[in-house]
Amino acid sequence: MEFISAKSGRRVEKIFPRIDQIVAGYRKRFRTSELNEILERALAEHQPPAVRGRPRRFYYATQLKNRPTTIALFSNTDETLHFSYRRYLENQFRGALGLVGCPIHLVIRARKGFSRGRR
């Protein structure tokens, strides 16, 4: 966060390098292996909440697109994540990838052969 003064123009020059850093992160592409390492660390620290009494598993993560960074998480179910755990994962990815100030979208997808109705 940068504090500037619109009235006097103080510290305005500090904002432009920060803008360049955010734009660079906004456009960046990430390897699937890098995203999977971050996901593994996040899951080791804090397991996801169960879905209907069954444990949720994440198999892998991959980047679908940039501008903004959109990451698909393949799971054993496509049920929505609790907002607090979604925020936790977003913050884990944001911190590890250096995307401070950039939005991150997570898309939960069931792995092929799995869906809401199947056991």
User: How far apart are the C-alpha atoms of 9 and 37, rounded to whole Å?
Assistant: 43
pTM of the predicted structure, to 2 decimals: 0.80
The domain limits of the chain are 30-110
88-100 residue pLDDT tens: 999 999 999 999 8
Instruction: Given CATH 3.30.300.20, say whether it is the number of domain 30-110.
Output: yes
Radius of gyration of the chain (CA): 18
Do the beta carbons of residue 42 and residue 88 sit within 8 Å? yes
pLDDT on residue 119: 47
The percent of residues in the chain predicted with pLDDT above 70, rounded, is 93
pLDDT on residue 116: 55
C-alpha dist (Å) from residue 96 to 7, 18, 61, 76, 80: 36, 18, 14, 25, 23
